Amino acid sequence: MHRTYPQNNKVMANTSSNMLPLGTIAPNFKLFDTTAEKRKSLQELKGTEGTVIMFICNHCPFVKHLNAEIAKTAIEYQHKGISFIAISSNDVDNYPQDAPHLMKLISVEQKYSFPYLYDESQEVAKAYEAACTPDFYLFDANLILVYRGQFDSSRPGNGIPVTGGDLKAAMDSLLEGKEINAIQKPSMGCNIKWKK
157-172 per-position pLDDT tens digit: 999 999 999 999 999 9
User: What is the domain-level CATH number for residue 79?
Assistant: 3.40.30.10
Asked if residue 114 is part of any domain, the answer here is yes
**Predicted pLDDT of residue 72:** 98
Residues of the domain holding 171: 47-191
Number of domains in the chain: 1
Cβ atoms 78, 84 nearer than 8 A: yes
Answer positive or negative: Cα dihedral of 169, 84, 65, 191: negative
Residue 52 pLDDT exceeds 90: yes
Q: Which element (helix H / strand E) includes 13?
A: strand 10-16
Asked if residue 22 is part of any domain, the answer here is no
pTM of the model as a whole = 0.92
Asked if residue 152 is part of any domain, the answer here is yes
Q: What is the DSSP letter of 98?
A: G
84-140 per-position pLDDT tens digit: 999 999 999 999 999 999 999 999 999 999 999 999 999 999 999 999 999 999 999
**Exposure pattern of 167-189 as b/e (b: 16+ CB <10 Å)?**
bbbbbebbeeeeebeeebebbbb
**Predicted pLDDT of residue 192:** 95
Q: Which element (helix H / strand E) includes 104?
A: helix 100-109
**Predicted pLDDT of residue 15:** 87
**Predicted pLDDT of residue 13:** 60
Cβ atoms 74, 84 nearer than 8 A: yes
**Predicted pLDDT of residue 164:** 97
Dihedral of the alpha carbons of 157, 162, 165, 167, in degrees to the nearest 10: 90
Asked if residue 176 is part of any domain, the answer here is yes
Does residue 2 sit in helix, strand or coil? strand
129-156 per-position pLDDT tens digit: 999 999 999 999 999 999 999 999 999 9
Asked if residue 67 is part of any domain, the answer here is yes
**Predicted pLDDT of residue 14:** 85
2-30 per-position pLDDT tens digit: 343 333 334 456 888 899 999 999 999 99
How far is the CA of 38 from the CAs of 75, 90, 113, 114, 116, in angstroms? 22, 19, 16, 14, 11
| Among candidate residues 31, 43, 15, 52, the one with its CA nearest the CA of residue 130 | 15
How far is the CA of 191 from the CAs of 38, 75, 132, 149, 160, in angstroms? 27, 27, 4, 14, 22
